[in-house]
Amino acid sequence: MQLPPEVQEYFPYGRPRPHQDEFITTVNKAVNNHQSVLIEGSNGLGKTISALSAVLPVAMKKNLKILYVARTHRQHDRVIEELRAIYKQHPITGISIRGRNEMCLNVFASKGSSDSRSLMEVCEMLKAKGRCPYYTNVQNRSWEYTQMQQEVARRPYMGSEILRSCKKKQLCAYELVKGAITEAQVIALSYLYVFDPMIRTAFLKNLETELSKIILVVDEAHNLPETAIDISSSQLTSFVMKTAEIEAEKYNYRDIEQFIHYFRNEIETLTDKIHKEEIIQTSHIKNIIEKSGIQKPKDFFEHIHEAGLAIRKAMLAEGKNPRSYVNSMGEYLQKWIETIEDSSYINVASRYFTKEGNKTAKLEIVALDPSKITEPVFSATYANVVMSGTLQPLEAYARITKMPQNTVQFIAPSPFPKEHVFSAVCLGVTTSMEKRTPKMYQTLISCINAVVNSTPTNTGIFAASFQVLNALLSEGLEQQLLKPLFYEQSGMTSKANEKLVQDFKACGDKGGAVFLGVQGGRTSEGVDFPGNQMNSVLVVGVPYAEPTPRVRAQIDYYETRFPGRGREYGYILPAMKKATQAAGRPIRTLDDKGAIVFLDYRFDSAYCKSFIPSWITNGMKSLPDKQGVLADEVRTFFSS
């Protein structure tokens, strides 16, 4: 298949990879027809440049902007790298945006804000009061600022490059980016800028455009439903309530102080009887509010919110960081009022212990329907390109996120030579709860050793949960391995995890090592291991979620929306997405050769296989529980 002539002008690499032309042509045709496209393409296909070269001709013809959303900074920077390749043959402008917290050079503002929303509010307050030197410099040194803005508007720029330049010149990086995006044809940014309603409103205002004039590209789209749920949900902890009570007393809001004191005591009494978590009926919270003497909850909660805003202004005037817990509590209670009649939300109360071992409580408004966040965006844009390496079944994804009815669905064939991928399921092992015995873990360790010792260099292991990971360690995995072991720990900081991964990767050229992590973790989904950084991967167990009340509620909700599909959409699909993401870690480029071994007989069922990409299941072997078979298969694969 030949690339459309208009695409050839933007595709910078001469001849496309195998099946890349099909991907590009499908996207280009759909977007030209004013349609969205839901498309799965495996690693190594070159999805970033494919999407860009397919949509750029349409965007230029129709005077549209392209928003390319992805999770990580590395993915955002990859967009700019590809735009620079295009720029060599066709002038194009683009910019990658870091989160507001990272773009902000004002330590006073960024350190005191818990999230991008609160930082946005603090930022506006500081600017209004003339309290931010970086913003003041923008106004006082307007010529220098304008010169930088014009330079950024000339060619593709990374957010990190802009941040470094602004830091050197003591200018507000966020303001510079805000001014430059109006001229950028492509903007790479995080999901929140587009899908969080409050952040989107402010962003589109700065962009000086509307969704109908935007082509939206969603990369790693398998993450979007979970992100949408997080955006819609909210929580209120005992710590926030206690601090809000003290704050209300300090600023002389006696009525708010008394209400919070009563409400906190009632919630702590309620959670004291809870083992882990329970769904709380709306009527229960209504009763608590009524007993507090509040006659008009909606008005009173608005009063709390307004008091919080007043407290923030007062704190700023005192030279303190304007972070108000009264404001946070007001926002939560207003959200509760808004969602009490909506069956797509539940209230969850939980009891847990802090790192210091203190018992504490938490209330949550848990969203169950990601389409409440995704549908308003997908229905308003000019077109959407929603893509990932793990989206099957496409119809399920389209229904869950409420993509437009005329969305084109396409699975691009894998570009990998069949002889570069070995995949197998071991039939004699499992991590199903009733079979997690010391004997089973020893069998799992034996299978792990068979693969590790038959792999030229590095091996990755991704367990179904930290419980399984820790059980492997306690049963002697590290002592039985002949190669160094690097393993994730629950609660590990991002920086510590990055160092761990970096040290493991370095062993690829030093005889090899073993990495042990969890499916659904930051390493199993956010890190690539090309070449000798990971030759083989073991997926240990199916990562089904613990059947908590909220998981059961999710299943029940989907069952009402999609009769007969509740368990599949709410329980099976999320687990299989995690497993397949982990399985794809060693195969990242067309030159990679990788062995993928599933250590759980449940992966052998036709039902489970239907959720795994065909480039993995094609030729997948079912290996009997017989000593030596697994080691022979892996050794033969790497020696051929």
CATH of the domain at 44: 3.40.50.300
Angle at 259 between CA 253 and CA 261, to 5 degrees: 100
CA dihedral defined by 245, 251, 254, 257, rounded to 10 degrees? -10
Q: Residues 515, 504: contact at Cβ < 8 Å?
A: yes
pLDDT given at position 620: 95
Q: What is the DSSP string of 368-415?
A: --THHHHHHHHTTSSEEEEEES---SHHHHHHHHT--TT-EEEEPPP-
Considering the domain architecture, whether residues 498 and 383 belong to the same structural domain is answered as no
Considering the domain architecture, whether residues 299 and 155 belong to the same structural domain is answered as no
- Residue 89 one-letter amino acid: Q
CA–CA gap between residue 146 and residue 259 (Å, rounded): 51
Q: What confidence tier does 129 reach under pLDDT thresholds 50, 70, 90?
A: confident
- Does 149 score more than 90 pLDDT? no
Considering the domain architecture, whether residues 348 and 224 belong to the same structural domain is answered as no
pLDDT given at position 65: 97
Q: What confidence tier does 114 reach under pLDDT thresholds 50, 70, 90?
A: low
Considering the domain architecture, whether residues 491 and 611 belong to the same structural domain is answered as yes
Considering the domain architecture, whether residues 394 and 428 belong to the same structural domain is answered as no
Helix (H) or strand (E) holding 97: none
Q: What confidence tier does 10 reach under pLDDT thresholds 50, 70, 90?
A: very high
Q: Which residue has the higher pLDDT, 310 or 105?
A: 310
Paired tokens of 546? 């613990």
CATH of the domain at 280: 1.10.275.40
Q: Residues 402, 378: contact at Cβ < 8 Å?
A: yes
- Does 398 score more than 90 pLDDT? yes
- Does 112 score more than 70 pLDDT? no
pLDDT given at position 108: 75
Percentage, residues of the chain above pLDDT 70: 98
Q: Which of 359, 380, 411 is the last residue of a domain?
A: 411
CA–CA gap between residue 121 and residue 117 (Å, rounded): 7
CA–CA gap between residue 517 and residue 534 (Å, rounded): 13
pLDDT given at position 445: 97
Q: What confidence tier does 113 reach under pLDDT thresholds 50, 70, 90?
A: low
Lookup result for tokens 């009997």:
624
Considering the domain architecture, whether residues 248 and 377 belong to the same structural domain is answered as no
According to DSSP, residue 313 is labeled H
Q: What confidence tier does 352 reach under pLDDT thresholds 50, 70, 90?
A: confident
Helix (H) or strand (E) holding 462: strand 459-463
Q: Which residue has the higher pLDDT, 70 or 318?
A: 70
Cα 630 to its chain centre, rounded Å, is: 34
**Could you count the other beta carbons within 10 Å of the beta carbon of residue 624?**
9
The whole domain housing 604 covers 418-639
Tell me how many domains the chain contains: 3
Read off φ and ψ for residue 292, nearest 5 degrees: -75, -10
- Helix residue ranges per DSSP H, 67-196: 73-87, 100-103, 107-111, 116-128, 133-140, 142-152, 159-169, 173-180, 191-195
Q: What confidence tier does 117 reach under pLDDT thresholds 50, 70, 90?
A: low
Residue 537: helix, strand or coil by DSSP? strand
| Cα dihedral 445, 449, 452, 455 sign | negative
Q: Residues 565, 559: contact at Cβ < 8 Å?
A: yes
Over residues 612-630, the mean pLDDT reads 92
pLDDT given at position 116: 65
Tens digits of residue pLDDT in 239-298: 999 999 999 999 999 999 999 999 999 999 999 888 889 999 999 999 999 999 898 999
Lookup result for tokens 């991008």:
116
Of 46, 25, 13, which Cα lies nearest the Cα of 415? 46
- Does 102 score more than 80 pLDDT? no
Considering the domain architecture, whether residues 129 and 244 belong to the same structural domain is answered as no
pLDDT given at position 139: 84
Q: What mean pLDDT is reported for the chain? A: 92
pLDDT given at position 106: 78
Tens digits of residue pLDDT in 197-228: 999 998 999 999 999 999 999 999 999 999 99
Q: What confidence tier does 614 reach under pLDDT thresholds 50, 70, 90?
A: confident
pLDDT given at position 187: 97
**Could you count the other beta carbons within 10 Å of the beta carbon of residue 158?**
22
14: Cβ contacts below 8 Å, ≥ 6 apart: none
Over residues 529-551, the mean pLDDT reads 95
Q: Which of 354, 380, 411 is the last residue of a domain?
A: 411
Considering the domain architecture, whether residues 347 and 446 belong to the same structural domain is answered as no
Considering the domain architecture, whether residues 454 and 561 belong to the same structural domain is answered as yes
555: Cβ contacts below 8 Å, ≥ 6 apart: 566, 567, 569, 570, 571
Read off φ and ψ for residue 475, nearest 5 degrees: -90, 5
524 CB-contact burial (10 Å; exposed 0-12 / middle 13-18 / buried 19+): buried
Q: Which of 353, 384, 411 is the last residue of a domain?
A: 411
Considering the domain architecture, whether residues 295 and 203 belong to the same structural domain is answered as no
Tens digits of residue pLDDT in 499-523: 999 999 999 999 999 999 999 998 9
Read off φ and ψ for residue 363, nearest 5 degrees: -110, 140
Tens digits of residue pLDDT in 601-611: 999 999 999 99
Paired tokens of 198? 């409050």
Read off φ and ψ for residue 492, nearest 5 degrees: -65, 140
Q: Which residue has the higher pLDDT, 231 or 392?
A: 231
Lookup result for tokens 């917290």:
101
Q: Does this model's pTM top 0.85?
A: yes
Residue 393, preceding peptide bond in cis (omega within 30° of 0):
yes
Paired tokens of 152? 């950024």
Over residues 482-507, the mean pLDDT reads 93
Considering the domain architecture, whether residues 475 and 490 belong to the same structural domain is answered as yes
Residue 99: helix, strand or coil by DSSP? coil
pLDDT given at position 248: 96
Considering the domain architecture, whether residues 341 and 433 belong to the same structural domain is answered as no
